[in-house]
Structure 1
């Protein structure tokens, strides 16, 4: 019998939501858009990156098509990985538990 435990990553293993928000904001800045922490947690947390960008594009009337949104998602993933590699934080107690 195979025994396994599956963990959600964000907020369980690592505290990375702030890094996701920073990556979103890096890409939205050229459009004059900044998502506040409060708005991110209220309106966008739990959405996929594609859904988040799509919603921001609609909310702010940015007029970007699906291809442009997919490009933002790809770029956001690269930026997030850079942030996570240099600034990522494992939640206290996780390493000994695992």
Structure 2
């Protein structure tokens, strides 16, 4: 993630749960502090539980969205799709989580 944000000049926005933020701060103290200060990265923290990860990647010629579902033993399933229906659903879900979050800036 550090290389993507620093070297590639990619605008990135994350909504993370409190437990993920705490784990990142404890495990990667210097790295997380460096990422949090990056100009091209906005991090939000939510107290709302997230039962899956949602992402959307946009480029000039294509938008792809996906979700990752976790179980106690790790990744249970992954869906990646570039249909407008999937992209719209992923954006709506992401915005729902973001509305309940606070910026870490």
Report the structure, 1 or 2, having the larger helix content.
1
Normalized against structure 2, the TM-score is what? 0.31
Normalized against structure 1, the TM-score is what? 0.33
Report the structure, 1 or 2, having the larger strand content.
2
> Which one scores higher on RCO, CA 8 angstroms, separation ≥ 6?
1
Larger Rg: 1
